[in-house]
């Protein structure tokens, strides 16, 4: 009996905190996630975070020592993965069936992911014929909460001369997504690092025969797969 977990006893806020922790801890693969970092990520005060972490520790979804780093229990992770599954399935639905654009899906999916109905999400999955990635290129966990966490390589971590393929983009900001579309980048685009300028770490990239210079901040939000040179 792995699944005695009751997913219906969580408030929207509790869910938001668990999902945020998962994204910082597991998806971003951080060594240490602290209280203030989480507060920053969720755009709330450190006091609020501290408060919520206490509650989540009492419910055994989070473990941490006083003044120590935050960690998710298995149950905590399980809840977070289910939320991510819901979020990404809804994004896919909005994008593929309801004419939403790349940058519009996130905000609405943030609301839809909190709808409590196991049947709803499983049927939505079936209706869409079990998609494996969302519109931003992120992998959708399956109904058992299993999914391969591909270590994320950012465009900013590459060196001059590297060639890579765009895998996914951070969907946290509408402005960013609009910019990505505008310069003509799309999922699977092949990108070559032409030059990295030392003084501001801005990067000159080449794709589809076009060249663009992007900032370090931009490159931090673009996830890629390196294409080994022949």
108's contact among a copy of itself, DNA, none, with CB below 5 to 8 A by partner kind, is a copy of itself
Does 100 contact a copy of itself by CB under 8 A? yes
Location of structure tokens 């979020």: 87
Tokens found for residue 163: 């060639």
Q: Which residues bind DNA (CB under 7 A)?
A: 11-14, 16, 34-37, 43-48, 50-55, 64, 66-69
Please report the DSSP string for 154-218 in residue order.
EGGG--TT-EEEEEEE--S-HHHHHHHHHHT--TT-EEEEEEE-TTT--EEEEETTEEEEE-HHH
Given a contact cutoff of 8 angstroms between Cβ atoms, the answer to whether 34 and 9 are in contact is no
Which range in 28-36, 117-125, 155-163, 189-197 contacts a copy of itself by CB under 8 A? Answer: 117-125
46's contact among DNA, a copy of itself, none, with CB below 5 to 8 A by partner kind, is DNA
Nearer to a copy of itself, 120 or 196 (CB): 120
Does 9 contact a copy of itself by CB under 8 A? no
Which range in 17-25, 35-43, 97-105, 216-224 contacts a copy of itself by CB under 8 A? Answer: 97-105
Which range in 28-36, 108-116, 194-202, 218-226 contacts a copy of itself by CB under 8 A? Answer: 108-116
66's contact among DNA, a copy of itself, none, with CB below 5 to 8 A by partner kind, is DNA
Task: Report the candidate in 49, 57, 51, 55 with the shortest Cα–Cα distance to residue 20.
Answer: 49
Q: How far is CA 125 from CA 82, 113, 134, in A?
A: 13, 13, 12
Q: How far is CA 57 from CA 3, 16, 47, 107, 128, in A?
A: 19, 15, 15, 28, 37
Q: How far is CA 193 from CA 11, 207, 227, in A?
A: 44, 9, 12
Nearer to DNA, 42 or 105 (CB): 42
Q: How far is the CB of 76 from DNA (least distance, A)?
A: 15
Q: How far is the CB of 59 from DNA (least distance, A)?
A: 10
Q: How many CA atoms lie within 13 A of 217 on its CB side?
A: 4
Does 160 contact a copy of itself by CB under 8 A? no
**What residues line the site for a copy of itself (CB under 8 A)?**
94, 97-100, 104, 107-108, 111-112, 115-117, 119-120, 123-124, 126-127
């Amino acid at each position: 009996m792995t699944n005695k977990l009751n997913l219906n006893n969580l408030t929207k806020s509790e869910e938001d905190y668990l999902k945020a922790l998962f994204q910082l801890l597991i998806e971003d693969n951080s060594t240490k996630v602290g209280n203030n970092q989480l507060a920053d990520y969720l755009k709330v005060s450190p006091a609020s975070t501290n408060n919520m972490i206490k509650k989540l520790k009492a419910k055994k979804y989070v473990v941490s020592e006083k003044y120590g780093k935050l960690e998710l229990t298995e149950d905590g992770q399980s809840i977070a993965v289910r939320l991510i599954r819901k979020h990404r399935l809804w994004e896919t639905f909005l994008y593929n069936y309801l004419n939403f654009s790349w940058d519009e899906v996130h905000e609405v999916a943030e609301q839809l992911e909190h709808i409590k109905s196991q049947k709803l999400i499983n049927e939505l999955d079936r209706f869409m014929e079990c998609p494996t990635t969302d519109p931003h290129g992120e992998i959708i966990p399956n109904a058992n909460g299993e999914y391969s966490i591909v270590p994320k390589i950012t465009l900013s971590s590459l060196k001059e001369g590297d060639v890579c393929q765009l895998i996914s983009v951070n969907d946290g900001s509408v402005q960013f997504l609009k910019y990505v579309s505008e310069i003509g980048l799309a999922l699977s685009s092949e990108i070559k690092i032409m030059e990295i300028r030392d003084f501001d770490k801005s990067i000159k990239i080449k794709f589809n025969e076009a060249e663009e210079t992007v900032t370090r901040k931009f490159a931090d939000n673009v996830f890629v797969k390196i294409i080994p040179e022949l």
